[in-house]
Chains A and B, each alone.
Chain A
Amino acid sequence: MSASETATETVSESEKKIHGVTAEFTSVDTLLAACRRVRDAGYTKTDAFAPFAVHGIDKALGIKPTVLPWIALIGGVTGVTVALCMQIWMNAIDYPYIISGKPFISLPAFIPVAFELTILLASFGAFFGMWALNGLPRFSNPMFTNPRFDRVTDDTFFLFVDSKDERFDQAGVERLFADCGGEHIDTVVEDDSPTKVPSFLIVAWLVSVALSIIPLLIVAKMRVTNSSSPRFHIFFDMDFSPARDAQQTTSIFADNRAARPDIPGTVARGQVQDLSFTTGIEKLSSNAPKPSEHLVAFMQESDDSKTTGGAAQKSVMDTTVWLDKNPRKVDASLLERGQQQFGIYCSVCHGMNGGGNGLVNQRAQKLSQSTWIQPSSLHQETLYSDKYPDGKLFSTITNGIRKMPGYAGQIKAKDRWAIVAYVRALQQSQNASIDLVPQAKRASLEKEKAGVEKRLKEEAEEAQKKAGESKKDSPKPA
């Protein structure tokens, strides 16, 4: 399009309102120079159009900085406030519940969401704020009436002076543009194409709005009404479990029983057959008197021993036929096992030597616990095997006595027997004579004994001496 053609066009369209004048430039530098001249000539309602952001053009045209950062800041502050309030209200006030031991208001745990919402709303502020400040979207723009303006998004720069500018004078502006080296100086007319939205668009919009609220209306209706027909089941087998109850029939098995009998040869947990090994009572199932009496006596065992208060005799009420002999083979390895288990489970109360002064007892004494009952010493005559059979000792470990809890849950039956063996050994150790020690080891034992006695004597003397000295130093009581 040449300049003369444009001129004739302008004339023919002279009845259209003039929007302003544009000139084209092909390089950034000439555009910037022209901008400065236009600015210095005093025009204020000007604009430059470019295919990319030209650095420095805001200064050249005198454009003021934007308030956009403030909008983003408001977005960000809103985000952080909303996020923190929301989380505190939801998790600590409206519906407080404890999760993994964290406090209701767990600020560190609220930071991630607070951060994300800050960024989200600040970004919304920057994004939507920018379009709003720019007045976009706006599809009708007088600039677009000029077909040459299509090149503004390609490689051409346009400088524009608005006809509403106070100093606007078409000829003067055109001259100024020409001086600056502007090409294709054109007048821009107002866009007078119909602004009415095409009716088919309106219809389409209305139809889509109408369609889109249908699902919402359905949901709303569902929420406020009841229905007698059953709801739709997506997971049929989850809503209606195919599992059968005990007395029901099934077609899966030939005998039609839903409850299945035990598989031959299996033993359920806790149903081991050898009762005397797990109770310490001889032939529990087929015992001489009457099994029922026997069981009653067995259940009353602990009450009885309380009332008899550790009598030196076998309780007359105790009709239980206890196993007299440890059913396991007593050898060094069993004793070792027993020692280990005793050390783990028994020694904390009964002490390593079975004297009844374990760490727990010492602690309880220290705290002067009034409800504390001192654990028994295992070295009482009533507890020796002639008065207190192995089976009974085993049963005590198993079921507990007085304040002592039963250890069946913690210690396996065979280990309880090992403990019984070890307790016997401990008792033996308190009453042993030198004759029990093999000949070969007696000499070294005697020697050790002598050493210990000597040391004890020395210590006693020293203590005496010290006591004497401290008496001398300390001031005499008044």
Chain B
Amino acid sequence: MSLAIPNGLDNTVEKPGQRAPLVLGDTTYHDITETVCQVAERPPSKSWVAGFLVAFALLQMLGLTIAYLLYTGVGVWGNRSPIFWGWPIVNFVFWVGIGHAGTLISAILFLFRQEWRTSINRAAEAMTIFAVACAGTFPGIHVGRAWLAFWLAPYPSLNLWMWPQFRSPLLWDVFAVSTYGTVSLLFWYMGMVPDLATFRDRSTNKWRRMAYGLLSLGWSGSSRHWMRYEKAYALLAAFAAPLVLSVHTIVSFDFAVSQVPGWHTTIFPPYFVAGAIFSGFAMVLTLMVPARSMLGLEKLITIRHMDNMCKIILATGSIVGLAYGTEFFIAWYGQVGEEQFAFTNRAFGPYWWAYWTMVTCNVISPQLFWFKKFRTTPWIIVVITIFVNIGMWFERFVIVCTSLSRDYLPSAWAYFSPTWVDWAMLIGSFGLFFTLFLLFCRLMPVINMSETKSTLAKQYHMAHLDDDHAAATEH
């Protein structure tokens, strides 16, 4: 009942006409269950505990700095006239961008029937939700009086007797990010229910069984349920796909509907979306490459998966590069003085170092993925994707800070310098992200078992087809 695939097989090579396997080794359905469940069932490893402690400490730092900020006021940030957006918005856009890979893998790759997504989508979706949580923190505190942030909601206020301003892109953002967070959460949770049922059925401890039993909502695997479930999954994927595009599009509107030189350019929507996918995939790879070997998931998350993701990084990185080039060209072609200045200032002004860091990391470093060697060597992937993450942070920094620091009024020009609070919050947000991610690895199924099993079933089926074909041609 199993299809023997040698463990050492290089499944990045695909003979045309014969699909390379996505599940390696002499794997059965039960093996998939075992491989995934052992991650959560065995006692935590020392490295997990160490990692969790560090992440948790950073999370405390984030909490303390936020408390300090709320107590003292937003003046403790480096935000000064005219750079009122500063790091909080840089971090916000950065994290929202990271949050794009999960739903993209789940939704768009699902719609395009890219089956290799099955073993990475769960963790990527989890990252989406955690990244959106990190992202939501920053505008939440950037409003200054965080306890009045509910004024953004269109509720009938007895105090104000007025409504939010729906013609403002910042309000669109509130709707976009919260919708995105909600739908991603539903999508993630729904995908997890059958696997939580597996956890329930395997658990020996009464409390564990009860907890997973509640979370899995009494899932029984009935084919009627499966049919509606699949339909709902496809529908959610179809809704989430344009949603992913819309979220970063609307984030880009925050910038592009203004008249600030360097922000007001029509390519922003697709360019932000490409950049978001780019950074999201980079983050997924940065985490999944070490995780797969630490959690023993090599047979399910294979080199081929990483190879494919590297290709997407290469493609989106090139789109981003093309967008940088187009912006420069049109700034020159349009012959509008302010625009030209904004772009020259980016590359050769006081922030030249940030600009060239961004170009090196975002445009040049992913070009290494043209070579298969780089796409299939885990440590190189990690190094390059970390560079990409750094580059994408700098991209947002460049957009926010260079344009704001030198706009139409030269007498107001300034240079942005972050304070220790800015630094602590940026680092602390990684603490929040990693704390949630490490907890997820311990408590939830890190790989979508049911989908991986159906991929395996298809693999069996294709093998039979090939056998039939071979038999047929012999006649």
Direct contact of A and B (CB under 8 A): yes
Point out residues on A near B: beta carbons under 8 Å.
26-29, 47-55, 57-58, 61, 63, 66, 68-69, 72, 86-87, 90-91, 94-95, 99-100, 102, 106, 109-110, 112-113, 115-117, 119-120, 122-124, 126-127, 129-131, 133-134, 136-141, 143-144, 149-155, 158, 223, 235
Q: A94-B163, A153-B194 are in contact. Are A117 and B235 (CB under 8 A)?
A: no
Question: Does B84 touch A at the CB level, under 8 Å?
Answer: no
CA gap between A417 and B169 in the complex, in Å: 51
Interface residues of B in 158-195 (CB under 8 A from A): 158, 161-169, 171-172, 175-176, 179, 182-183, 186-187, 190, 194-195
Q: Is the CB of A130 within 8 A of B232?
A: yes
B34: shortest Cβ distance to chain A, in Å?
9
Q: Is the CB of A99 within 8 A of B220?
A: no
Q: A143-B220, A150-B202 are in contact. Are A119 and B228 (CB under 8 A)?
A: no
Q: A54-B223, A139-B213, A154-B202 are in contact. Are A116 and B179 (CB under 8 A)?
A: yes
Q: Is the CB of A137 within 8 A of B166?
A: no
Interface residues of B in 1-56 (CB under 8 A from A): 1, 28-30, 33
- In the complex, which residues of chain A have a beta carbon less than 8 angstroms from the beta carbon of B200? 153
Q: Is the CB of A66 within 8 A of B163?
A: no
Q: Is the CB of A134 within 8 A of B229?
A: yes
Q: Is the CB of B223 within 8 A of A58?
A: yes
A–B Cβ pairs within 8 angstroms, 28 of them: A26-B1, A47-B223, A51-B221, A51-B453, A52-B450, A53-B454, A58-B223, A63-B227, A86-B154, A91-B165, A91-B167, A100-B167, A112-B172, A112-B253, A113-B171, A119-B242, A119-B246, A120-B183, A122-B235, A122-B239, A123-B240, A143-B220, A152-B201, A153-B194, A154-B201, A155-B28, A155-B33, A158-B221
> B239 is contacted by which of A47, A123, A152, A154 (Cβ under 8 Å)?
A123
CA gap between A90 and B201 in the complex, in Å: 51
Q: A66-B231, A119-B183, A130-B228 are in contact. Are A110 and B30 (CB under 8 A)?
A: no
A106: shortest Cβ distance to chain B, in Å?
5
Point out residues on B near A: beta carbons under 8 Å.
1, 28-30, 33, 73, 154, 158, 161-169, 171-172, 175-176, 179, 182-183, 186-187, 190, 194-195, 197-198, 200-202, 213-214, 217-232, 235-236, 239-240, 242-243, 246, 250, 253, 449-451, 453-454, 457, 460-461, 464
CA gap between A158 and B223 in the complex, in Å: 10
Q: Is the CB of B166 within 8 A of A110?
A: yes
CA gap between A99 and B257 in the complex, in Å: 13
- In the complex, which residues of chain A have a beta carbon less than 8 angstroms from the beta carbon of B175? 112-113, 116-117
Main secondary structure of the interface of A (DSSP, over half): helix
Which single residue of chain A is at the shortest CB-CB distance from B217?
Answer: A137
Q: Is the CB of A68 within 8 A of B228?
A: yes
CA gap between A62 and B243 in the complex, in Å: 35
- In the complex, which residues of chain B have a beta carbon less than 8 angstroms from the beta carbon of A61? 223
> A130 is contacted by which of B33, B176, B213, B229 (Cβ under 8 Å)?
B229
CA gap between A152 and B201 in the complex, in Å: 9
Q: A49-B220, A151-B201 are in contact. Are A116 and B230 (CB under 8 A)?
A: no
A241: shortest Cβ distance to chain B, in Å?
14
Which single residue of chain A is at the shortest CB-CB distance from B226?
Answer: A53
B142: shortest Cβ distance to chain A, in Å?
17
Number of A-B contacts (CB under 8 A): 202
Indicate the member of A95, A141, A153 with the most B CB atoms within 10 Å.
A153
- In the complex, which residues of chain A have a beta carbon less than 8 angstroms from the beta carbon of B232? 68, 126-127, 129-130
Q: Is the CB of B454 within 8 A of A126?
A: no
Q: Is the CB of B231 within 8 A of A102?
A: no
A424: shortest Cβ distance to chain B, in Å?
36
- In the complex, which residues of chain B have a beta carbon less than 8 angstroms from the beta carbon of A126? 232, 235-236, 239
Q: Is the CB of A58 within 8 A of B227?
A: yes
Q: Is the CB of A95 within 8 A of B179?
A: no
A394: shortest Cβ distance to chain B, in Å?
30
CA gap between A155 and B217 in the complex, in Å: 20
> B246 is contacted by which of A47, A115, A122, A123 (Cβ under 8 Å)?
A115
CA gap between A66 and B164 in the complex, in Å: 39
> B158 is contacted by which of A27, A53, A223 (Cβ under 8 Å)?
A223
B390: shortest Cβ distance to chain A, in Å?
30
Indicate the member of B223, B246, B457 with the most A CB atoms within 10 Å.
B223
- In the complex, which residues of chain B have a beta carbon less than 8 angstroms from the beta carbon of A102? 167
CA gap between A50 and B179 in the complex, in Å: 33
A135: shortest Cβ distance to chain B, in Å?
9
CA gap between A223 and B28 in the complex, in Å: 63
A29-B464, A109-B166 known; 11 other A-B pairs, CB under 8 Å? A47-B223, A53-B230, A53-B450, A63-B223, A72-B239, A112-B169, A119-B239, A123-B183, A126-B236, A134-B222, A152-B221
Q: Is the CB of B220 within 8 A of A152?
A: yes
Q: Is the CB of A90 within 8 A of B166?
A: yes
Closest 6 CB pairs of A and B: A155-B29, A130-B232, A137-B217, A90-B163, A150-B201, A112-B172
CA gap between A55 and B453 in the complex, in Å: 12
B1: shortest Cβ distance to chain A, in Å?
6
B140: shortest Cβ distance to chain A, in Å?
17
Q: Is the CB of A55 within 8 A of B220?
A: no
Q: A91-B166, A112-B253 are in contact. Are A154 and B198 (CB under 8 A)?
A: yes
- In the complex, which residues of chain B have a beta carbon less than 8 angstroms from the beta carbon of A53? 226-227, 229-230, 450, 454
Q: Is the CB of A69 within 8 A of B231?
A: yes
Q: Is the CB of A95 within 8 A of B162?
A: yes
- In the complex, which residues of chain A have a beta carbon less than 8 angstroms from the beta carbon of B225? 134, 136
Indicate the member of A47, A117, A155 with the most B CB atoms within 10 Å.
A155
- In the complex, which residues of chain B have a beta carbon less than 8 angstroms from the beta carbon of A235? 73
CA gap between A50 and B163 in the complex, in Å: 51
- In the complex, which residues of chain A have a beta carbon less than 8 angstroms from the beta carbon of B73? 235
- In the complex, which residues of chain A have a beta carbon less than 8 angstroms from the beta carbon of B450? 51-53
CA gap between A90 and B162 in the complex, in Å: 8
CA gap between A214 and B454 in the complex, in Å: 49
A132: shortest Cβ distance to chain B, in Å?
10
CA gap between A151 and B169 in the complex, in Å: 51
- In the complex, which residues of chain A have a beta carbon less than 8 angstroms from the beta carbon of B1? 26-27
- In the complex, which residues of chain B have a beta carbon less than 8 angstroms from the beta carbon of A55? 454
Q: Is the CB of B454 within 8 A of A136?
A: no
Q: Is the CB of B213 within 8 A of A112?
A: no
CA gap between A89 and B194 in the complex, in Å: 43
> B163 is contacted by which of A57, A91, A149, A151 (Cβ under 8 Å)?
A91
CA gap between A113 and B177 in the complex, in Å: 11
- In the complex, which residues of chain B have a beta carbon less than 8 angstroms from the beta carbon of A154? 29-30, 33, 198, 201-202
> B250 is contacted by which of A57, A112, A123, A141 (Cβ under 8 Å)?
A112
CA gap between A50 and B358 in the complex, in Å: 49
Q: A95-B162, A137-B217, A235-B73 are in contact. Are A127 and B227 (CB under 8 A)?
A: no
Q: A51-B453, A106-B167, A116-B246 are in contact. Are A139 and B218 (CB under 8 A)?
A: yes
Q: A51-B29, A129-B232 are in contact. Are A153 and B197 (CB under 8 A)?
A: yes
CA gap between A149 and B197 in the complex, in Å: 12
Q: Is the CB of A130 within 8 A of B231?
A: yes
Q: Is the CB of B28 within 8 A of A134?
A: no
B447: shortest Cβ distance to chain A, in Å?
13
Q: A68-B231, A113-B166, A136-B219 are in contact. Are A123 and B30 (CB under 8 A)?
A: no
